[in-house]
Structure formats: structure tokens, C-alpha cells
């Protein structure tokens, strides 16, 4: 085919420009480490990456929720352990006070200690979590749940709400127990239901009247049972959280690998492509110079 | 006379080769002139002299100077130029959208993710004001992001308009220039007795090629040498030395969008926006119609989906101050624009956001019936209903109410989602208004002796009078009292001292439990509670307003669940999915334009090569021609010298 001089020039220039475009793209890939620089490079991968980002970041949020849930449960656990310790101490004192040879003065000393313990119990039942919310007041988390009128009537101002947190795509875990269930449902020793504080209060009243405790040990045992059961439930929730956290971790690991194959550049391939493109560009430049030097006019 | 005849033959050669050398020089001089076609001197023998012995040659004559040119190839170049520039213009605009939509800073994805994460942080600590403030900021940021992206798209629309304006004024300049050249060519060729005016013809071809970069054109060659140029579906742009002017105007169907019109003979302008294709103008208009409009609508759809479903769920909840949740975002509204006929008698509203599309529609009243048509496919959409307030027309998630008597020919443009992204505004003013809690709670009486449990309660209809009668309380609060292990009564517990019996003797199955509401007798308070386990006679359950329930996160969990619920596109896509679909559509469209552009550029390169192989100047060829014609010139000069010496010989012989 016949070629025009202008076309020979233009073709060489166009070829070099195209090579430069390719080279610039590879260079940008190398600089960013990204395989695709815009969604149009691979629309299917772009959407998949957005999808994966969403799932990965949501799972990261579940991990944060899990941390939050664990912290809150740990605080509840600490409060209930203390409640258990106090109840245990009161129970020891109840056993000692049951001794018929005990004098009035000794019973008064014990009474003083148990009264302190009772106040401790109310205080523990009114514990707050890290964000200042009452642990045992149900949904009414800024209402102090337990109060004492000074004459043995203990009332619960919270409700029976139980907050759950999302720790997995389809898993929620309760992060608290309403005080009603933990402190207000203790056997009263005569077939009915009373509260934990009243058991201790009645013990104090007995002691101050220099009488041996009557139903105290039964009631304390019932209270200790409730506390233990609640702690067991907390333990199993913490297990659930641990399991879910591990599951979330492995899930995210797989997703991140998946995302990496979609968006990360294969450096070995890209570097060798870069070298090749560089070589081709240099070759076109050199051949351009030689061809442009050719002209019949040089010989006229 | 023999001598003078030889002299004449020699001088005819001298003249012919002088012209050939001149033309070669002209070719060399114009080797780099754009649009120049190589010229050749066409030589022929002169008329021979008839003698008794036969025909005696009389030398050479120049018949014409012609250019190497092929009208068909030139047409190919023109057409492929139009197609290639169309894709280039489309791609240049599309790649801007493409780059921005998936950008982690400019796109919506990152902000939406942060928004939903902040919502979960509120569910972790619903009474913590810090988490609520963060959510408020993220919500504002998300709305800003929608607004900014929409404003940015408006900026792209501005570029489209500027391109249309620029292209139209350039088309007018070029068509004037073609008309002027037509006139010059007709004149020049008439004066030269029909010889081709090569350089003027080249110039005109070049101008037509420039025109085809702007818009697809058809040319018709006339006998007098002029060329008529048509655009669109046959609208004449240039006829001989006359032109018709193109104008831009604001599209009635799309305020803020320029269209193209042609100014007819009687000064009447006819819109031809839909007819023009190819070139820069075709590419820009195609981008606007096939990518920018759908993308703007899709982004609006995402904003509407987000605000509608956030509001719906937020309304079901209770805020930190114990009030029922208000709007989270201000819901952008669909719009109806009167295109023709009775103004403003169509009132549009969202009927079912999950069925919304990213389409625009035309609603028209013809032959006594209303018809809805999708604008891009021009397909009719079936509407249900009768168009009254009580029974509006419904189609694709939109409802239409006709508020006054229509007349035949009434036409309305319906844009359900066009302004979605620009109008999205945060309605909350402080973090306390986030309705993280549910408005009701249930309690089992402490004195209960059975094992019955009651669910926390789920709102089914927040508009029920139970919630709406009196702020901050349930009307009425409910007491469920068991009369045996298989039967219970339901009381209005407004006055706990003396509950009022609402319905008695409702059966209960301890094995399966049961929903308390709606009751067998038909009581429904817009929520549901469920009792399970084995309650005993005398056991009581209360359901009341969630007063003071600041630690409740039930509604916050439901709000953050909106992130993954399939709410859009008839329940097939989450809100994030519908944004991803936009990214994918734009990516695919951009990719396609790029690939088509590359393919068309190959075709164009090929067409240019073919034209250059015919019309281009090759300097080596011209150098060879220089040598050839120089030699021929020298030879012709030698012929004259010979004729001269022959004449001298004769003179000398006579003198002797």
C-alpha cells in the first residue's frame, strides 16, 4: 500500500502515544497497588468490592459491639461476684448467730456488721456500667433501681427490660439482667417470694432483738442460688460472644482474602508488564528516529 | 513547416513539464497541509496533423490538474469520525462519574457504612449522648454527601450544556464556511470551464470533516459543484450558498437542560434534539440521556429509600425524652411538571418505595383516557386505580391523583426520584431525638406463681390510637390476668386500682403460648405481645408505655437492621445494593463507551489510512517526480535547441 509521508509520521506518533498511555496506567497501578483504578476497569469486581467492604466493615462493627457486650457483662459479673461474697459472709454470720450460747452483746456486734453488709448489697444492686447506666434497672437505665424506706421495705423502680446487642449478622446477645429477676425473686422461707435485701434486713432485726435467725439461711441459700444462676448465664453469654468473635474473625479473614484477589495488584506481573511496555516504547522511539531520517531528498 | 513544428512540439513539452514541476512543488509544499489531496497534471497528446503519409504528432498538452480523491473513502472517514468522536465525548464525561461514584471520599458507600456503624454504636449504649451525637454527625454527613454528589452531577450537567452550546455555535460557523466555499467553487469552476477547483474542494472536504466531528452529517453532491449538507433525520443545514441556523433552547421537559433546534425558513424553530446523532453533540446528548439522567435518578432513589425506611422505623420508636420518634430525614418528594395543557392537575406521591424505579415518565390524557409511558423505553405502564383521591392511579410505586378535569392533550412529566439526592435533609436536630427505644414494655408481676413469660412487645401500627391519643402513654395500658392455666381476661389498666374488663375468657394453650393481640374479640392496639410458658390462675402481665426506658435499644437494632434488609427493587436489594447497582451501571456504561471508542478509532484509523494512501503526499515519490520531470524538461529544452540548430543549418545553406 502507498503511504503518505505525513501518515508515516502520524502513525509513529500515535503508536508512541498509545504506548505512553499504557505505561502511565501500569505506573499508576504500581503506585496505588490497585488492580482496578476505576469501576469501569472491571464493573463486576467494583460492585463485589463495595459489597465486601460493606460486609467486612459491618463485621468489624459486630466485633466492637462484642467488645462492648463483654465489658458490660464483665461489670455485671464483678457486681454479682461481690454480691455472692457478701451473701456468703452474711450466711457465715447467720450460722454463727444460730449458736444458742451467743450473748446479746455478740449478737449486736454481728448485727452491726450485717447492717453494713445489707447497705453494701443495695449499693451493689445499684451498680452502674462504664457509661453510667444502672446495670440492674432494665430499660430504665438512668433510674436508680433499688431503694429502702428504712423500715424493711425494699422497692424496685426498674422494669423487666433486657437489652441485647448485635454481635453477628443473625446473633444478638443479652447484655444485662433486670434487677427484678436477680434481687427481687428470692424464696421467703415460708413458701412465698420476697427479696434478697429483706432476708438480710430480717436477720438484722432478729439479731437486734437478740433472737437467733429463723429462715435466714434458707433465704440466703435461695439468694445465692439466684446469683449463681445469673452468673452462669453471664458466663454462657460470654462464651457465646467469644465463639461469635472467633467466627467473625475467620469470616472477615476469608472476606479480606477474597477482596484482596479482586482489588490488589499482582506486583510481579505488573512490574514485568511495565518493563515490557517501557522496552516497546523505547523501540518505537528509536525506530521513529531512523525512519524519519530516511528521505530521497538526502541524495538529490 | 518542419522547424517551427519541432519548436512547437518542444515548447509544448517545456510547458507541460514546467506545469508538472510546479505541481510537484505544490505537492511538496503542501505535504503537511491538513486535508490536502495530492495533485497530478494530466497530460495528453495534442491533436495530430493529418498528412498524406498519416497522422503527425504535434506535442503534448495539459488537459487538467486533478486531485487524487475518492468520494466514497472520504464519506467513510466522515462517518467514522462522527462515530469515534461520539464515543469519545460520551466516554470523557462518563469516566468523570465513573471515577467519583466509587471514590471512598466522594462516593456514598463509605458515609453510609459509617452512618450504620454509628447507629449500632447507639444500640450499644442507647442512653449515651456521645454515641448519639456521633450518629447525628454521621447522619448529617451522609445527607451532605448525597447533596454534594448531586451538586457535582449538576456540574456535569453544566458541562453537558456548555458542550451543547459550544457545538451548536461551532456547527453554525462551519456551515457558513461550507456555504461560502460552495459559492466560491461554483464560481471558480464555472469560470474555468468545469475544471476542478482542487484546493477549494480540499478545503471544503476538510470543513465538512470538522463538522462531522461535531455531528453526523449526510452530503449530497450537486452538478454545479456545490454540496448540500443534511443533519439529523434529513434537516438541511447547507443548501448551496444558503445555511439554516441551529439554536439552543431550554427543554420544557427538563428545565436546566439545553436542547437543539433548527431555525426553519419562516423563522420557526423546530426542536431536533432527539434526531441529531453522532459527533461530539450526539455523544454529549447520549451521555445526558443514557447515563447522567438515570444516574441522577438512581442516586435520588437511594436517598429516598434511605430516608423513607429510616423514617418509617424511627416513627415506630421512642426517643430519649420519651416521645414517639419523628422524621429522621426529610423525605424528598416526587415531582410532576406540566408539559402541555391544563397546568398542575396531577398530584404525585410515593405509594410503595420498594417498587420505585430510576425512570422518568410521561402521563398524558388522550381520547378521554390517561396513559403512563416510560420515557426511555417509551413503553406504556399499566396503572391501577381511577385517579381520584380515594383511589389514585398507581404504577411503579407512585400514586397519581387527578385534582381537576383534564382536557385531551394534557401532558405531564413525572420525575419520581430526580430530586431525591439534592433534597435529602436531616430532620433531626439533636441526638436525643434518635428513637432507639420501643415505645412499650411488658412486665410479669413479681407475685406470679406460674412460669409464664411475656414478650417485650412489637409495634405493628404506630398510628393506632393506643399510641396517638395521648403523648407519653399507652391508651390504654393493658393488664392480662389469668383465671386458670388455660384462660385469661384482658383489662384496661388505666387505673391500676380498678382495672376495667375489656374481654374475658380468652383461651390459652400452655404448650404453644399465644399472641395476646389482636384478641379473638377483635381488640387491636397497634402492637403485639406474646405470652409463653405455664402461667397459673391469678398471674398478671402488664403492658405499658416505656416511660423512662432510656436503656432500651430495641428500635435502634431494627434501625441498624435496615442496612442489610432487602427493601429496594421489589425486595431484591438493600439500600447499599441499590447504590452499588448505580456504580455498576455507570462502570459498565463507561467501559462500553471506552471499548466502542477504541474500536471506532481503529475503524477511523483504517479509513484515514485508506484515504492517505490515495490522497496523501509521499515526499520520496515527489522527489522521484522532480527528477523525472526535470529530465523531461531538459529533454524538451534539447528538442528546442535541436529545432534551433536545424534552422541555423538551413540559414547557413541559404547564405552560401
Q: Where are the domains positioned within chain A?
A: 1-34+265-300, 61-257
- Residues B102, A39: C-beta atoms closer than 8 Å: yes
In chain A, what residues touch B202 (CB-CB under 8 Å)?
none
- CA B198, chain centre distance (Å): 43
Cα(B451)–Cα(B303) distance, rounded to whole angstroms? 47
Q: Where are the alpha helices (DSSP H) in B224-376?
A: 279-287, 293-315
For residue B391, give the 3-state DSSP assignment: coil
Q: What is the pLDDT of residues B559-586, one digit of tens each?
A: 999 999 999 999 999 999 999 999 999 9
- Residues A142, B548: C-beta atoms closer than 8 Å: yes
- Residues B441, A4: C-beta atoms closer than 8 Å: no
For residue B260, give the 3-state DSSP assignment: strand
Give B223's contacts (C-beta < 8 A, 6+ positions apart): none
The pLDDT value recorded for residue B2 is 47
Average pLDDT over residues B85-110: 91
Q: Pick from B113, B437, B586: which is nearest to A139 by CB?
A: B437
Q: What is the pLDDT of residues B24-72, one digit of tens each?
A: 999 999 999 999 999 999 999 999 999 899 999 999 999 999 999 999 9
Q: How far is CA A156 from CA A25, A138, B186, B443, in A?
A: 69, 10, 107, 13
B446 in Cβ contact with B351 (< 8 Å): no
B312 in Cβ contact with B246 (< 8 Å): no
* Residues across chain A: 300
Measured in angstroms, the CA of A103 and the nearest CA of chain B are apart by 38
Instruction: Give the largest Cα separation in chain A, rounded.
Output: 140
Cα(A112)–Cα(B241) distance, rounded to whole angstroms? 118
Residue B3, pLDDT above cutoff 50: no
Q: Pick from B32, B446, B552: which is nearest to A139 by CB?
A: B552
Task: Give chain B's radius of gyration (CA, Å).
Answer: 42
Average pLDDT over residues B358-383: 93
DSSP string, A242-262: HHHHHHHHHHHHHHHHHHHHH
In chain B, what residues touch A164 (CB-CB under 8 Å)?
553, 557
The pLDDT value recorded for residue A74 is 95
Residue B266, pLDDT above cutoff 80: no
Write out the H or E segment, with its range, that includes residue A179.
helix A179-183
Q: What is the pLDDT of residues B375-390, one digit of tens each?
A: 989 999 999 999 999 9
Contacting A residues, span 205-224, partner chain B, CB-CB under 8 Å:
none
- Residues A6, B617: C-beta atoms closer than 8 Å: yes
- Residue B651 C-alpha cell reads as 540559414
**Strand B530-532 versus strand B514-515 pairing type:** antiparallel
The pLDDT value recorded for residue B4 is 60
Regions of chain A short of the pLDDT cut 70: none
Cα(B607)–Cα(B212) distance, rounded to whole angstroms? 14
Per the listing, cell 451493689 goes with A124
In chain A, what residues touch B614 (CB-CB under 8 Å)?
2
The pLDDT value recorded for residue B78 is 95
Residue B265, pLDDT above cutoff 80: no
B98 in Cβ contact with B107 (< 8 Å): no
- Residue A149 C-alpha cell reads as 424506706
Q: Pick from A50, A163, A180: which is nearest to B580 by CB?
A: A50
Average pLDDT over residues B309-326: 95
Strand partners, B53: none
Write out the H or E segment, with its range, that includes residue B363.
strand B361-366
Q: How many CB pairs under 8 A join A and B?
A: 195
The pLDDT value recorded for residue B656 is 63
The pLDDT value recorded for residue B560 is 94
The pLDDT value recorded for residue A121 is 95
Residue B640, pLDDT above cutoff 70: yes
Measured in angstroms, the CA of A115 and the nearest CA of chain B are apart by 26
Average pLDDT over residues B189-215: 95
Residue among A22, A159, A192 with most chain B CBs within 10 A, to mutate: A159
Other CB atoms within a 10 A radius of the CB of residue B571 amount to 10
- Residues A295, B620: C-beta atoms closer than 8 Å: yes
- Residues B584, A39: C-beta atoms closer than 8 Å: yes
Measured in angstroms, the CA of A112 and the nearest CA of chain B are apart by 30
Q: Pick from A4, A50, A61: which is nearest to B616 by CB?
A: A4
- Residue A26 C-alpha cell reads as 501500569
Strand partners, B41: B65
Per the listing, cell 433525520 goes with B233
> Which residue in chain B has the smallest CA separation from A178?
B443
Give A119's contacts (C-beta < 8 A, 6+ positions apart): none
Mean pLDDT, all residues of chain B: 93
Measured in angstroms, the CA of B320 and the nearest CA of chain A are apart by 11
- Residues A40, B447: C-beta atoms closer than 8 Å: no
- Residue A157 C-alpha cell reads as 423502680
Residue A61 near chain B (CB below 8 Å): yes
Smallest CA-to-CA distance from A127 within A166, A183, A165, A204 is with A183
- Residues A139, B123: C-beta atoms closer than 8 Å: no
Bond before B82 cis per omega within 30 degrees = no
Cα(A249)–Cα(B629) distance, rounded to whole angstroms? 86
Average pLDDT over residues B431-436: 96
- Residues A142, B551: C-beta atoms closer than 8 Å: yes
In chain B, what residues touch A296 (CB-CB under 8 Å)?
619-620, 623-624
A277 in Cβ contact with A269 (< 8 Å): no
Cα(B333)–Cα(B311) distance, rounded to whole angstroms? 14
Q: What angle separates helix B109-124 from helix B554-561, to the nearest 10 degrees? A: 160
More confident residue, A298 or B81: B81
B271 in Cβ contact with B249 (< 8 Å): yes
Residue A160 near chain B (CB below 8 Å): yes
Q: Examine the predicted complex and report whether its ipTM is higher than 0.90.
A: no
The pLDDT value recorded for residue B1 is 43
Give A33's contacts (C-beta < 8 A, 6+ positions apart): A264, A265, A267
Other CB atoms within a 10 A radius of the CB of residue B235 amount to 15
- Residue B223 C-alpha cell reads as 452538478
- Residue B398 C-alpha cell reads as 407512585
Classify residue A89 by burial, with Cβ atoms within 10 Å: 0-12, 13-18, 19+: middle
Indicate the fold that domain A61-257 takes in CATH.
Answer: f41 fragment of flagellin, N-terminal domain (1.20.1330)
Q: Where are the alpha helices (DSSP H) in B192-278?
A: 198-214
Q: Pick from A2, A43, A163: which is nearest to B584 by CB?
A: A43
Measured in angstroms, the CA of A92 and the nearest CA of chain B are apart by 29
Cα(A92)–Cα(A98) distance, rounded to whole angstroms? 10
- Residue A143 C-alpha cell reads as 433510674
The pLDDT value recorded for residue A16 is 93
Strand partners, B54: B51
- Residues A46, B587: C-beta atoms closer than 8 Å: yes
Average pLDDT over residues B476-494: 94
- Residues A40, B553: C-beta atoms closer than 8 Å: no
Residue A284 near chain B (CB below 8 Å): no
Amino acid at each position: 500500500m502507498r503511504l503518505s509521508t505525513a501518515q508515516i509520521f502520524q502513525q509513529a506518533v500515535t503508536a508512541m502515544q498509545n504506548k505512553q498511555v499504557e505505561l502511565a496506567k501500569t505506573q499508576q497501578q504500581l503506585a496505588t497497588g490497585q488492580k482496578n483504578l476505576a469501576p469501569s476497569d472491571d464493573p463486576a469486581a467494583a460492585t463485589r468490592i463495595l459489597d465486601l467492604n460493606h460486609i467486612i466493615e459491618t463485621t468489624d462493627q459486630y466485633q466492637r459491639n462484642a467488645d462492648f457486650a463483654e465489658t458490660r457483662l464483665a461489670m455485671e459479673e464483678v457486681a454479682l461476684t461481690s454480691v455472692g461474697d457478701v451473701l456468703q459472709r452474711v450466711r457465715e454470720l447467720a450460722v454463727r448467730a444460730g449458736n444458742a450460747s451467743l450473748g446479746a452483746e455478740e449478737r449486736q456486734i454481728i448485727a452491726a456488721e450485717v447492717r453494713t453488709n445489707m447497705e453494701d448489697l443495695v449499693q451493689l444492686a445499684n451498680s452502674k456500667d462504664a457509661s453510667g447506666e444502672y446495670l440492674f434497672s432494665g430499660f430504665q437505665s438512668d433510674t436508680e433501681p433499688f431503694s429502702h424506706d428504712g423500715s424493711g421495705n425494699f422497692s424496685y423502680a426498674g422494669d423487666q427490660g433486657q437489652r441485647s446487642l448485635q454481635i453477628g449478622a443473625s446473633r444478638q446477645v443479652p447484655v444485662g439482667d433486670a434487677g427484678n429477676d436477680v434481687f427481687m425473686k428470692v424464696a421467703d422461707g415460708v413458701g412465698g417470694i420476697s427479696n434478697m435485701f429483706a432476708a438480710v434486713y430480717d436477720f438484722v432485726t432478729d439479731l437486734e432483738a437478740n433472737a437467733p435467725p429463723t429462715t435466714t439461711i434458707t433465704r440466703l441459700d435461695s439468694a445465692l442460688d439466684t446469683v449463681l444462676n445469673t452468673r452462669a448465664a453471664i458466663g454462657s453469654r460470654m462464651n457465646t460472644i467469644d465463639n461469635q468473635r472467633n467466627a467473625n474473625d475467620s469470616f472477615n479473614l476469608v472476606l479480606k482474602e477474597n477482596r484482596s484477589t479482586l482489588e490488589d495488584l499482582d506486583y510481579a506481573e505488573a512490574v514485568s508488564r511495565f518493563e515490557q511496555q517501557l522496552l516497546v516504547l523505547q523501540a518505537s522511539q528509536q525506530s521513529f528516529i531512523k525512519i524519519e531520517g530516511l528521505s530521497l531528498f538526502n541524495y538529490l | 513547416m518542419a522547424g517551427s513544428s519541432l519548436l512547437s512540439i518542444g515548447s509544448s513539452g517545456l510547458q507541460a513539464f514546467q506545469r508538472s514541476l510546479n505541481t510537484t512543488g505544490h505537492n511538496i509544499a503542501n505535504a503537511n497541509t491538513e486535508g490536502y489531496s495530492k495533485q497530478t497534471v494530466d497530460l495528453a497528446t495534442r491533436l495530430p496533423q493529418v498528412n498524406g503519409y498519416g497522422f503527425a504528432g504535434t506535442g503534448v498538452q495539459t488537459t487538467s490538474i486533478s486531485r487524487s480523491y475518492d468520494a466514497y473513502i472520504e464519506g467513510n472517514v466522515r462517518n467514522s469520525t462522527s462515530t469515534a468522536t461520539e464515543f469519545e465525548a460520551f466516554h470523557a464525561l462518563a469516566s468523570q462519574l465513573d471515577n467519583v461514584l466509587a471514590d471512598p471520599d466522594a462516593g456514598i458507600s463509605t458515609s453510609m457504612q459509617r452512618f450504620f456503624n454509628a447507629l449500632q454504636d447507639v444500640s450499644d449504649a442507647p442512653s449515651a449522648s456521645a454515641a448519639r451525637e456521633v450518629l447525628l454527625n454521621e447522619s448529617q454527613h451522609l445527607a451532605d454527601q448525597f447533596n454534594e454528589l448531586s451538586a457535582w452531577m449538576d456540574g456535569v450537567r453544566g458541562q453537558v450544556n456548555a458542550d451543547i452550546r459550544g457545538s451548536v455555535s461551532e456547527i453554525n460557523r462551519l456551515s457558513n464556511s461550507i456555504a461560502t466555499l460552495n459559492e466560491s467553487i461554483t464560481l471558480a469552476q464555472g469560470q474555468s470551464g468545469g475544471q476542478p477547483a482542487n484546493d477549494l474542494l480540499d478545503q471544503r472536504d476538510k470543513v465538512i470533516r470538522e463538522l462531522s466531528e461535531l455531528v453526523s452529517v449526510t452530503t449530497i453532491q450537486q452538478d454545479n459543484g456545490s454540496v448540500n449538507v443534511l443533519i439529523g433525520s434529513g434537516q438541511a443545514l447547507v443548501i448551496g450558498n444558503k445555511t439554516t441556523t441551529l439554536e439552543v433552547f431550554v427543554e420544557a421537559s427538563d428545565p436546566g437542560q439545553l436542547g437543539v433546534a433548527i431555525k426553519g425558513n419562516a423563522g420557526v424553530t423546530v426542536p431536533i434534539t432527539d434526531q441529531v446523532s453522532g459527533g461530539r453533540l450526539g455523544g454529549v446528548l447520549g451521555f445526558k440521556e443514557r447515563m447522567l439522567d438515570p444516574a441522577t435518578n438512581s442516586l435520588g432513589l437511594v436517598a429516598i429509600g434511605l430516608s423513607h425506611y429510616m423514617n418509617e422505623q424511627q416513627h415506630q420508636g421512642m426517643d430519649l425524652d420519651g416521645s414517639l420518634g419523628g422524621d429522621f430525614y426529610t423525605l424528598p418528594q416526587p415531582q410532576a411538571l406540566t408539559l402541555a395543557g391544563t397546568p398542575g392537575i396531577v398530584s404525585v406521591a410515593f405509594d410503595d418505595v420498594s417498587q420505585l424505579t430510576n425512570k422518568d415518565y410521561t402521563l398524558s390524557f388522550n381520547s378521554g383516557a390517561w396513559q403512563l409511558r416510560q420515557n426511555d423505553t417509551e413503553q406504556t405502564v399499566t396503572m391501577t386505580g381511577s385517579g381520584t383521591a380515594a383511589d389514585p392511579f398507581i404504577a411503579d410505586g407512585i400514586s397519581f391523583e387527578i385534582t381537576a378535569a383534564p382536557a385531551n392533550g394534557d401532558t405531564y412529566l413525572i420525575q419520581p426520584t430526580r430530586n431525591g439526592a439534592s433534597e435529602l435533609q436531616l430532620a433531626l436536630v439533636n441526638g436525643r431525638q434518635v428513637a432507639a427505644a420501643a415505645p412499650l414494655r411488658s412486665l410479669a408481676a413479681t407475685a406470679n406463681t406460674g412460669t409464664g413469660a411475656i414478650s417485650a412487645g412489637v409495634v405493628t401500627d404506630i398510628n393506632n390510637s393506643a399510641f396517638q391519643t395521648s403523648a407519653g402513654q399507652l391508651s390504654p395500658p393493658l393488664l392480662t390476668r389469668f383465671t386458670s392455666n388455660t384462660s385469661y381476661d384482658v383489662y384496661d389498666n388505666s387505673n391500676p386500682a380498678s382495672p376495667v374488663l375489656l374481654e374475658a375468657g380468652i383461651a390459652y394453650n400452655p404448650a404453644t403460648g399465644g399472641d395476646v393481640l389482636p384478641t379473638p374479640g377483635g381488640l387491636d392496639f397497634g402492637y403485639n405481645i406474646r405470652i409463653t410458658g405455664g402461667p397459673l390462675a391469678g398471674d398478671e402481665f402488664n403492658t405499658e408505655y416505656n416511660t423512662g426506658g432510656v436503656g432500651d435499644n430495641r428500635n435502634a437494632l431494627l434501625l441498624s437492621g435496615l442496612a442489610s434488609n432487602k427493601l429496594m427493587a421489589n425486595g431484591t436489594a438493600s439500600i447499599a445494593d441499590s447504590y452499588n447497582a448505580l456504580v455498576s451501571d455507570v462502570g459498565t456504561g463507561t467501559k462500553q463507551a471506552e471499548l466502542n471508542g477504541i474500536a471506532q478509532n481503529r475503524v477511523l484509523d483504517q479509513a484515514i489510512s485508506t484515504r492517505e494512501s490515495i490522497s496523501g503526499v509521499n515526499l520520496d515519490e515527489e522527489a522521484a517526480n522532480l527528477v523525472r520531470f526535470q529530465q523531461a524538461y531538459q529533454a524538451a529544452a534539447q528538442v528546442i535547441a535541436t529545432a534551433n540548430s536545424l534552422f541555423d543549418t538551413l540559414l547557413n545553406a541559404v547564405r552560401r
